[in-house]
Amino acid sequence: MRGLQARLQGRVIVRAEVRREGLRWPFPDGLAAHLTGARVLGFRRRAKYILMRLDGGGSVLLHLGMSGRMLIRRRGANDPDAAGPALHEHVEMETDDGWLVGFVDPRRFGSIDLVPTDAEDAHRLLAGLGPEPLDELFTPAVLSAGLAGRRTPIKAALLDQRIVAGLGNIYVCEALFRAGIAPSRHAADVAGAGAARLVPEIKATLQEAIAAGGSSLRDYVQPDGELGYFQHAWRVYGREGERCPACPGPPACPGIARVVQAGRSTFLCPRLQAG
DNA sequence: ATACGCCCCTGGTGGC
DNA sequence: TGCCACCAGGGGCGTA
């Protein structure tokens, strides 16, 4: 969102190309027409959604899915027009000061919709979202209330955007490790003392990742093309078989394990996240 | 209400 | 070199 904001805020979109019918869902009718000629007033983020406010009373709702990214480059630099659109660049906008902003998404799990600016949070995709993890209102008591009564594993509960909004698989694994909580524990059993350990670790993990520019898997880059580097700071994610960074090593600790929960990989230290 | 697969896609990797 | 199985930052939806 910040990458988009730097290039788009205050600018007029002089051209918009929509190259397919939709991604996860069909694009809204008239998307290109809504974008063309609009001035970008500002941005906000909610959970994993980016909201781009336009003059005229509408906002663009963007989700990058698993493989989506924004591509920002200067019109004419290295002759991008001659090169044509990037691979899987499904939507492209051009600003009145000569920048090209593209939505690239190979797997096409991303989404774009339009929503009235005065009712952004009433959109069906935003209406049920839980608290923002970096908000000061997100406290152990709030998390405990969200976990209470749920028998689902804490891993799944933290991925449930209704309980806390914006955590993905990487950061849930990392936060659970840092808090020393077994991913398989019932959510309800983590309320209270567990939540008190978990909330600060969730916040710290996210803050460190944002400061590092995110985690670059495969080809994810920030809009300016810079690689995030938080992947080097992962303590457990993607480290199956490696030594736990907080343990003395074998035989005391067998190393990082990988299990599958609800179809997604979970990485953990069996010694520090026991029970 | 809650919980669990399934599915939407492309592409990279590693084994044979 | 080719083929194939498996895996991947998400999350809505249908079904039990």
pLDDT in tens, A173-187: 999 999 999 999 999
* Cβ of residue A108 lies below 7 Å from strand B: yes
Averaged pLDDT for residues A251-265: 93
Query: What is chain A's mean pLDDT, rounded?
Result: 92
A155 and A184 in contact (C-beta within 8 Å)? yes
What is the pLDDT confidence band of residue A217, given thresholds at 50, 70 and 90? low
* Cβ of residue A21 lies below 7 Å from strand B: no
**What's the pLDDT score for residue A34?**
97
Q: How far apart are CA A133 and CA A52, in angstroms?
A: 21
**What's the pLDDT score for residue A219?**
55
Residue A227 in this model has a pLDDT that exceeds 90: no
**What's the pLDDT score for residue A225?**
72
Residue A172 in this model has a pLDDT that exceeds 90: yes
**What's the pLDDT score for residue A82?**
58
pLDDT in tens, A84-98: 899 999 999 999 999
Averaged pLDDT for residues A119-125: 95
Averaged pLDDT for residues A114-128: 95
Reference A73, options A91, A94, A88; nearest CA is A94
Averaged pLDDT for residues A21-37: 96
* C1' of C9 to CA of A89 (Å): 18
Residue nearest to nucleotide B6 (CA to C1'): A263
Task: Count how many residues are written for chain A.
Answer: 275
DSSP-based three-state secondary structure for A233: helix
Q: In degrees, to the nearest 5, what angle opens at C-alpha A209 toward C-alphas A266 and A11?
A: 125
Q: Can you read off the two tokens belonging to residue A15?
A: 């051209």
**What's the pLDDT score for residue A79?**
56
Nucleotides of C under 7 A from a protein CB: 7-12
* C1' of B1 to CA of A10 (Å): 45
| Chain centroid, CA A207 distance in Å | 13
Phi, psi of A225 (to 5 degrees): 95, -10
The residue with greater pLDDT, A212 or A39, is A39
What is the pLDDT confidence band of residue A213, given thresholds at 50, 70 and 90? confident
pTM: 0.95
